[in-house]
A and B are shown apart, each in its own frame.
Chain A
Amino acid sequence: DTQMTQSPSTVSASVGDRVVITCRATQSISNWLAWYQQKPGRAPKLLIYRTSTLQTGVPSRFSGSGSGTEFTLTISSLQPDDFATYYCQQYSGYVFTFGPGTKVDFK
């Protein structure tokens, strides 16, 4: 099965910063790559699916890109509501796999 890694594991940032999170797969995957945001005590929230398509209601400061084995989530200008943990997730061969997460905290 395809395994996922994320980097960095933690990013310390300030409001207004551009934040980039990378997700890597152990083998080439199609564009079935999604990103989630999770806050403490809450269920994950879908932000992006199919590598780059924003889920309805997600602000346009979030964007996704990538192909093959390397994908990125970019937050163009970090807002107070964006401090959270972010997970990537892939689908292939009837298996879904999540990454270990990247925590975005206050610098």
Chain B
Amino acid sequence: EVELVESGGGLVQPGGFLRLSCAVSGIRVSDKHMNWVRQTPGKGPEWVSTIFSGGGIHYTDSVKGRFTISRHTSQNMVYLQMNNLRPEDTAVYYCTTCDSGRLAFDLWGQGTVVTVPS
């Protein structure tokens, strides 16, 4: 059974940083496109970043230059380093998977909460 477990969320002041982790079991992180998707209460999900199985990386415009996605294949982990955090980054952050046949997020973790007060 595939499981994604996020950790690393918390309360951080504007300008601060956090590193989110996603522990993956049941699949290899190098075999799927791994993603971070965030959601604020009452709003639709927002894609943040993808590391494709081939290693290509993409970000939504609002986090470019501040967030960095990475994976550690031997530990089967995915990370999101978030620097220079802003109040608008406050959200539940989900680790998700997708593949080239769907280009949709088929598996989701339980989420980790990031709060940046204004």
Contact = CB atoms under 8 A, between A and B. Distances in A.
B8 interface: no
Nearest to A47: B104
Interface stretch (B22-30, B38-46, B82-90): B38-46
A89 B105 contact: yes
B73 interface: no
Contacts of A87: 44-45
Interface in A52-73: 55
Contact size class for A?
Answer: 20 to 34
Among B46, B102, B106, B109, the one with the most A-chain Cβ atoms within 10 Å of its Cβ is: B102
Interface in A1-55: 1, 32, 34, 36, 43-46, 49-50, 55
A34 B37 CA distance: 15
Question: Is chain B's binding surface mostly helix, strand, loop or mixed?
Answer: loop
A44 B103 contact: no
B97 to A, nearest CB: 10
Interface of A: 1, 32, 34, 36, 43-46, 49-50, 55, 87, 89, 91, 94-101
Interface of B: 35, 37, 43-47, 50, 56, 58, 60-61, 94, 101-106, 108-111
29 contacts: A32-B104, A36-B105, A43-B108, A43-B110, A43-B111, A46-B105, A46-B106, A49-B104, A49-B106, A50-B101, A50-B102, A87-B44, A89-B45, A91-B104, A94-B50, A94-B56, A94-B58, A95-B47, A95-B58, A95-B60, A96-B37, A96-B47, A96-B50, A97-B47, A98-B47, A99-B44, A100-B43, A100-B44, A101-B44
